Amino acid sequence: MWLPTLHAENHRRKEVHSDGILSVRGRRVVPAAEVIFAHIAAADAILATEHLGADEIPIVVAAASACGVGKIVITHPEHHVVGLNIEAQRALHRNFPVYFER
């Protein structure tokens, strides 16, 4: 299961739009995300972060992991829309069950 791509608020903002689907608000995942994470965990499915921003990804990964999601893909972390630097990637890899899609 993947989070928003072209319609993610982060992606839309980088294209100079003021809309998009929020996954994180106020340094917390939105309530609907926790429901989705619970379904992913129950199905032992994979979560992909898609076009979330570098500031959102650690929050989402921590929340998904806390909900029992055991397989998380950080989608194209170096892409300019995502912008996740190597140190942030290393920290995520040390602390969570993540894989990096390049």
32: pLDDT confidence band, cut at 50, 70 and 90? Answer: very high
Residues 53-91 pLDDT 10s: 999 999 999 999 999 999 999 999 999 999 999 999 999
1: pLDDT confidence band, cut at 50, 70 and 90? Answer: confident
8: pLDDT confidence band, cut at 50, 70 and 90? Answer: very high
Enter the tokens of residue 1.
């299961």
Q: In what order do the strands lie in the sheet with 72-75?
A: 47-48, 72-75, 98-101
Average pLDDT for residues 4-27, to the nearest whole number? 96
Mapping DSSP to helix (H, G, I), strand (E, B) and coil, where does residue 79 land? Answer: coil
Query: What pTM did the predictor assign?
Result: 0.95
**Rounded distance between C-alpha atoms, residue 46 and residue 9, angstroms:** 22
Enter the tokens of residue 33.
């995300």
Q: What number of other Cβ atoms are within 10 A of residue 65's Cβ?
A: 18
